[in-house]
Copies of this chain bind each other. A is one copy, B any other.
Amino acid sequence: MDSKIISPAVIGRLPRYYRYLGDLKDEGVERISSQELSELMKVTASQIRQDFNNFGGFGQQGYGYNVEYLYNEIGKLLGLHENHHLIIIGAGNLGRALTNYSNFENRGFIFEGIFDQNPALIGKKIGELTVMPMEEIESFILAHSIDIVVIAIPKTGAVAVADRVVNCGIKAIWNFAHTDLNVPDGVVVENVHLSDSLMKLSYTLSTKNNSVD
């Protein structure tokens, strides 16, 4: 890759392309045109071509794209050709659910450790992992080449924990805490605010009900 800046909107669409191409590959489809992909994904063919042109176009020749090639190339862009090493802060229900989600491991996202501040949880087994105390976060990150930290604790402790892991050199945080983290430039936070997502649904329901009146 050269240093061309790709817009966040394009990057945000890459995982969805990757998901559809993976399904097509699994179904044995070898080639697909941008028009067919467009109908499948319900986006315009011109958007698909524009998105792909950010990355050199992926060589559409003759009849459409080679599905497996395109899948592999987008996978490489997404950093899926190498393993990532994660820890989870928070061994509550959400932390446990994420740890046990085998999909992530299949994609090369390997959960190496889980931490909690609750003494009753420390030492407990969650899948293959044993819950460790919060004091050990820094030494564990350094010893295990951790590159992604998952924050799955309530908002009260999230900001302080984010500061700690950023000080250890972590550049990527997957944040489930119900708060925004302020991190320095060069650190990326991907937020999953579940309540926000649910509220968007109830907004729509509420508006529908009102418009019936």
Interface residues of A (CB under 8 A from B): 1, 3, 11-12, 14-16, 18-19, 41-42, 76-80, 82, 84, 92-94, 96-98, 100-101, 103-104, 107, 109, 147-148, 171-174, 178-180, 186, 188, 190, 192-211
CB pair B93 A100 closer than 8 Å: yes
Q: Inside 8 A of A100's CB, which chain B residues have their CB?
A: 93
CB pair B148 A196 closer than 8 Å: no
Determine the distance from Cα of A77 to Cα of B84 in the docked complex, in whole angstroms.
Answer: 40
Closest to A6 in B: B207
Counting every copy of the chain, the complex holds: 2
Contact of A78 among B101, B194, B206 (CB under 8 A): B206
Q: Which of A78, A171, A194, A210 is most buried by chain B, counting CB atoms within 10 A of its CB?
A: A78
CB pair A77 B203 closer than 8 Å: yes
Q: Inside 8 A of A93's CB, which chain B residues have their CB?
A: 96-97, 100-101
Q: Inside 8 A of A82's CB, which chain B residues have their CB?
A: 206
CB distance from A119 to the nearest CB of B (A): 20
Closest to A14 in B: B203
Contact of A211 among B1, B96, B193, B202 (CB under 8 A): B1
* Chain A at the B interface: SS class: helix
Contact of A199 among B15, B41, B192, B202 (CB under 8 A): B15
Determine the distance from Cα of A201 to Cα of B79 in the docked complex, in whole angstroms.
Answer: 9
CB pair B203 A78 closer than 8 Å: yes
Q: Inside 8 A of A188's CB, which chain B residues have their CB?
A: 201, 204-205
Q: Inside 8 A of A208's CB, which chain B residues have their CB?
A: 171, 186
CB pair B194 A148 closer than 8 Å: no
In the A-B complex, the 7 residue pairs with the closest CB atoms: A79-B206, A15-B196, A79-B202, A93-B97, A97-B97, A15-B199, A188-B204
Determine the distance from Cα of A199 to Cα of B200 in the docked complex, in whole angstroms.
Answer: 23
Contact of A101 among B179, B194, B205 (CB under 8 A): B194
